Structure 1
Amino acid sequence: MTSQRKHVGLVFGGVSGEHEVSIRSASTVLAGLTSGSNPERYAVTVLYIDREGRWWGPGIAAAVLERGEAATDEQLPHPLPPAGFRGLPQDCEAIDVWYPVLHGPNGEDGTVQGLFRLMRQPFVGAGVLGSAVSMDKQAMKAAFAAAGLSQVPYVCVQASELKDDTTFNPLLKRIEQLGYPCFVKPANLGSSVGISKVRNRAELVEGLHKASLLDPRLVVEQGVTARELECAVLGRNDLRASVVGEVRFEADWYDYETKYTAGLSSTLIPAPLPDGVADRIRQQALQACEAVGVLGMARVDFFYDEAAGTIWINEINTLPGFTSQSMYPMLWAASGLTLDQLVHELVETAGE
């Protein structure tokens, strides 16, 4: 039995601002891979990417998971190798399928998926194209628009437009047609990193410059009063959608602190919705995956204006959070899949 187990390479960490979230997500995924019937199915090798992009083998990776926080240079073996990817650590030769738990740039954007593709090895989650398009909010919104999915009004911004008054002043006027408040977002970060809610021109200018330090491509979205709903998607040859959940919070908006601090937000699963709304959202979640070329897994987020009955698609996440507070595993739990069953299905989709 042991010799027939699939060897899963669970890789986490990464160079993005979501490094700590990745560690927490990987702990949950590992718990799923080592519970239920999965120990009979899988042998797991954990691999850690530090903040400088160096890959480390199971010894370092296990220590990071145990501590629950990023490794410091003092905790890594010296002399340290150069920053960046310099090849896989030892113990990777036997890996049959890769399970990336990497949030944000250089993990969720098609880069590591391209590495696995070059290695000709299957991996969990979306492919290169779907990952790249979904990570970049400008490209994602263009794909959604082409598919006819409703979105809140938005303006795409290039950081080069901020450099002189001949482009910056017309840009500000164009954005202000959205009205205040609005949200300034880096195009290629997740977990609400770098996002500003702005209520006037001074805050808009500050938010644009702040976001441009993180990404040369930005999106500014009109602020709407709406419920925040989420739907999980799973599968490759047979893509299916979960029940719909709702996130509620007392904060002004759903920022990083609210997302990842216990007690600052709550979830309702399934979300209490009028007849037919959940079905519409589930159908649009599948349409969104088709629009950006995503298979494997995704979490699709929506805004819902109950008074008007309007649904707007917000974004798609191809490597959604897997922490104890993350919606993706909770949505599937409410749909009948335990954690061990969920990660089993995800690993099996990699080979389809």
Structure 2
Amino acid sequence: MRKKRTLGVIYGGKSSEHEVSLRTAYSIMGAVDYDKFTILPLFIQLNGEWAKGELTTKQPESVESLRLRNQGEDVSLFQLTKEVDVFFPVIHGPFGEDGTLQGLLEMLDIPYVGSGVLGSSLGMDKVMMKKIFQSVALPQCTFLSYTRKQIMGSLAKIVEEIEGEIGYPNFVKPVNLGSSVGISKAKNREGLEEALQLAAKFDRKVIVEQFIEGSELEIGVLGNEELKTSVVGKILSVGEFYDYAAKYKNIGTELEIPAKVPEHVVSKIEEMAKKAFLVLECSGLSRVDFFWNEKTDQVYINEINTMPGFTPFSMYPLMFKEAGISYPALIEELIQLAQERYEEKKQNQIEAESLE
């Protein structure tokens, strides 16, 4: 009889997406096959302290039950390498999705789900991501970026530059946040000034993007080098954009899965998504977002999310479910991909050491 594997689920974190992470962890823990896995919950509190739960073979009672507390005992991360077979980090945003946690897990020398240090950091930083997309000629909107210090010291000059190069309306975003936190759609000068100042509260870097008229389309990518794609999903939002409430509370939006778009658009999105995934050196999973202008029939890549949400309202699992991969099966495949990537890296290390 095959031994159960222990899955360490890391969630919470110090970013503004702390609550999103809790919802994602709750969903994953509720869907794991407990005949195959034992769960070790690892909660990072808002103050950065780690708290370890008890090994469990049953799903959590509620999201609130996942708010573990540090009882004054340090969590020995290196001791966890003896307890955990594979980690599933589901921390969104800075200090979790940006390569920092992935670097720690690399030091622990244990398999983990999702992209590595490079893919995670590039996928989190919207400016660097778009510069990489430019290098391989992936069509995208015009964008400009600024630091918080520049915004605070030269707001009027920056607004004039944006008006001249991008115009209205435009989107203003913190560079290193997801889940639509801190994002605004600016329609005039007053709105732009407020949007820049708001985004600067969340991050030291801010990006301003050209508004692309058209449909918001998304696709999931699954794999390491041999990639699968989900069906394409379409966001039908009654708001100005697909915001936090729409993503995580199912307020003011509808999802069309699969999207009713021409087959050539689907094929183009599949091709571009795989190209983006590989050029950023992602692994495991990503959700890639696009705009499709129906009038010009042009597809633009918007961004990639290397750790998309796994809540009941999340696009990634819903799109793969429509493609024939259930939520529990998706989790197991991601764990298997993590193990395969780890074993490949270990083999490379062994071969390198044999040459010394």
| 1:7 equivalenced with 2:6 (yes/no) | yes
- Find the partner of 1:243 among 220, 226, 231: 231
SS at match of 1:350: helix
**What SS does structure 2 have at the residue aligned with 1:20?**
helix
Q: Percent identity?
A: 39
2:180 corresponds to which residue? 192
- Match 1:128 to one of 117, 135, 158: 117
2:318 alignment partner, SS class: helix
Structure 2 distance, partners of 1:274, 1:232, is 18
Question: Is the Cα contact below 8 Å between 1:57 and 1:89 reproduced in 2?
Answer: no
Q: Which runs of 5+ in 1 are unaligned?
A: none
2:303 to 282, 299, 315: 315
Q: Which moved more, 1:18-27 or 1:53-62?
A: 53-62
| Correspondent of 2:252 among 264, 268, 274 | 264
The question of whether the paired residues in 1 share the 8 Å contact of 2:40 and 2:55 is answered with: no
SS at match of 1:308: coil
Alignment of 1:84-103 (within 5 A): 87-88=76-77, 93-103=82-92
1:175 matched residue in structure 2: 162
Residues in 1 aligned to 2:216 and 2:292: alpha-carbon distance in whole angstroms: 7
Aligned to 1:148: 137
Contact 1:333 1:339 in 2 (8 A): yes
Whichever residue aligns with residue 315 of structure 2, its letter is M
CA contact (8 A) 2:60 2:66 kept: no
What does residue 32 of structure 1 align with? 31
Paired residue secondary structure (1:8): strand
Greater Cα offset, 111-120 or 155-164: 155-164
Rounded to whole Å, the distance in 1 between the matches of 2:173 and 2:56 is 32
Instruction: Name segments (4+ residues, structure 1) moved above 4 Å.
Output: 59-65, 89-92
Identify the residue that residue 349 of structure 2 maps to in structure 1: none
Note the C-alpha offset of 1:164.
2.7
Deviation for aligned residue 1:56: 1.0
Structure 2 counterparts to residues 1-352 of structure 1, below 5 A: 1=1, 4-34=3-33, 39-59=34-54, 65-69=60-64, 76=69, 87-88=76-77, 93-165=82-154, 168-177=155-164, 178-352=166-340
Amino acid at match of 1:58: G
Query: Which deviates further from its counterpart, 25-34 or 90-99?
Result: 90-99
The two structures have a TM-score, normalised by structure 2, of 0.89
Paired residue type of 1:223: F
Worse-matched range after superposition: 296-305 or 249-258: 249-258
Q: Aligned-pair distance for 1:198? A: 1.1
The amino acid of 1:170's aligned partner reads K
Indicate if the aligned counterparts of 1:7 and 1:43 stay in contact, CA closer than 8 A.
yes
Give the partner amino acid of 2:302: N
**Which letter does structure 2 place at the counterpart of 1:119?**
L
Q: Aligned-pair distance for 1:89?
A: 9.3
- Normalising by structure 1, what TM-score? 0.90
Give the number of aligned pairs.
339
The one of the two structures with greater contact order (alpha-carbon pairs below 8 A, sep at least 6) is 1
Deviation at 1:17, TM superposition (A): 1.0
**1:63: Cα distance to partner?**
12
SS of residue matched to 1:230: strand
Q: Amino acid of the residue matched to residue 19 of structure 1?
A: H
Q: Distance in 1 between matches of 2:54 and 2:47?
A: 18
**Farther off after superposition, 213-222 or 169-178:** 169-178
Amino acid at match of 1:172: V
Task: Summarize the Cα distance change of 1:182–1:45 in structure 2 as closer, same or farther, 3 Å threshold.
Answer: same
Which letter does structure 2 place at the counterpart of 1:339?
Y
Instruction: Summarize deviations over 1:264-300 as a string: whole Å, max 9, x none.
Output: 2111111001131101101100011112111111000
Instruction: From the superposition, tell whether residues 96 and 107 of structure 1 become closer, same or farther in structure 2 (CA, over 3 Å).
Output: same
Distance of aligned partners of 1:279 and 1:308 in 2 relative to their CA distance in 1, 3 Å threshold: same
Letter of the structure 2 residue corresponding to residue 43 of structure 1: T
